[in-house]
Structure 1
Amino acid sequence: MRRVKEPVGTTAGDGEGAFYERLRPLVQLYARSPEIRRVAVVGNQPLEPSRERAAVVDDADLVFRVNGFRADLDGEPPTVGRRTDVVVFNRGVRPTPWFFQDYTERLYLMIEPGRMLWENPKLPAFWPKDLGLVTMPNREVILPLGAAMDADPREIGQWATTGTVMLWLATRLFPEAVIHAMGFSFVDAPEQTAWNHAYGDASAVGAEHGIQRESLLVRGWIDAGVVSYHP
């Protein structure tokens, strides 16, 4: 598959590039291999079983999952794999049975775009006292992603979903790797007004998200070879 150096239509500025240079060595500590060639980025869309898709996840050098994710269990048909190395989440996350599993062996990255307008800076009350996390800066992450979507979150109060932020982080951290993406329902259904999740109840698409913009952006990445998409 053809690889490109940067996500479509973007060039990292000095501050943005320096941020990823600082973050990359930390993320690499949680990979199964010191040389990261394949990265799996798994969204929370319900998917049909697929042994091939599950193998793509579990054979990757690094696996990202998002918010209230689920992973495969013993006795279930393989669907989205078992491994989790990096969890990208927001303050409103509803932990699933998998969220804190083996948490001492994972890296937790928190996004907080709502801090630009209204969000409370407190940690969730359920957060384990012995678990650290790294917050993703809005200036180096959320605002450049907003610009790539042709939107300024500070002006219109819209920003990318946590899943798209996760995918953006993966492509910026490892531009030379093959990025395997799956489980992003807005790619094929940008007009949806509610999310179905692989675990838990459905929920409305928040007014802060313009998933039509996200669909166009991620579709561009797929078409350009930035990511390999596995429906």
Structure 2
Amino acid sequence: MVSMLQAYADQPDPRSVAVVGNQPLEPDERRAKTIDSCDLVFRVNGFVCDEPDTQPAVGTRTHVVVFNRALRATKWVFEDYPSRLYLLVEPGRLHWEPENIPQWWPSDLGFLPVSNREVTLPLSEALGLSTRTDGTWATTGTMAAWIARTAFPDADLVLSGFSFIDNPHQTSWQHAAGDSCIVGPEHQIAAEGRLLESWSRTGKTTLLR
């Protein structure tokens, strides 16, 4: 998977990587420019990007889309899709999730399944989750951040749009696209927030709120 990520980055060994979650964020030109200046930009599930007639908030560039089978696609998800890498995370396949592709998925668009053995389970171990035996695992956003951090450990990592870092006890969340949903019982977002926040103390990860 690392070689695939390198192929879609601005340069084979990205010096800066951004992962943008789906928290609604106020306009911030500096944040948007910082995200767009990265060599590799990850976005998650039904994400949004800045529009020409709006104030900058989260930038416009996307190299990698990390999604799950419950994706609620926005108009930005498949924009310019031949130039992006699509990574399907499927931790539920360890338990009950069926192997099916939504009927609305573009017939000419492939995707790369993310290995549960190489990604999901090591992340769950870091979070203290018993994913092998219980139906509990990380959110797609945290999985995207973990992929970015472990694939390019020497790169500067920018994280933005992760509401559970500051609000770890929320039971529902609003998405930047305008919809909302409950926090699934399979997620332990307080543990995820602690993990991501701890990275910011290493000097290689920046949190942009």
Deviation for aligned residue 1:180:
0.6
Answer whether contact 1:103 1:131 (CA < 8 A) is retained: yes
Alignment of 1:25-64 (within 5 A): 25-64=3-42
Residue 171 of structure 1 aligns with an amino acid whose one-letter code is: R
Aligned to 2:115: 137
Deviation for aligned residue 1:38:
0.7
Aligned to 1:182: 160
Aligned to 1:83: 61
Distance in 1 of aligned mates of 2:121 and 2:111: 21
Answer whether contact 1:171 1:226 (CA < 8 A) is retained: no
Equivalent position to 1:93, from 45, 58, 71 = 71
Equivalent position to 2:147, from 169, 185, 201 = 169
Aligned to 2:102: 124
Distance in 2 of aligned mates of 1:177 and 1:224: 12
For structure 1, the residue ranges without an aligned partner over 5 or more in a row are 1-22
Aligned to 1:159: 137
1:154–1:34 distance in 2 versus 1, CA, 3 Å: closer
Secondary structure, aligned partner of 2:41: strand
Equivalent pairs: percent with the same residue?
50
Answer whether contact 2:155 2:204 (CA < 8 A) is retained: no
Distance in 1 of aligned mates of 2:154 and 2:45: 26
For structure 2, the residue ranges without an aligned partner over 5 or more in a row are none
- RMSD after superposition: 0.9
Residue 175 of structure 1 aligns with an amino acid whose one-letter code is: P
Deviation for aligned residue 1:212:
1.1
Equivalent position to 1:216, from 194, 197, 201 = 194
Q: 1:37-73 CA deviation, whole Å, 9 max, x = no partner?
A: 0111100000011110000111110100000000000
Distance in 1 of aligned mates of 2:166 and 2:178: 21
Deviation for aligned residue 1:200:
3.0
Secondary structure, aligned partner of 1:192: coil
Answer whether contact 2:36 2:61 (CA < 8 A) is retained: yes
Alignment of 1:96-115 (within 5 A): 96-115=74-93
TM-score, normalisation: structure 2: 0.97
Residue 79 of structure 2 aligns with an amino acid whose one-letter code is: Q
Residue 64 of structure 2 aligns with an amino acid whose one-letter code is: V
Deviation for aligned residue 1:128:
0.7
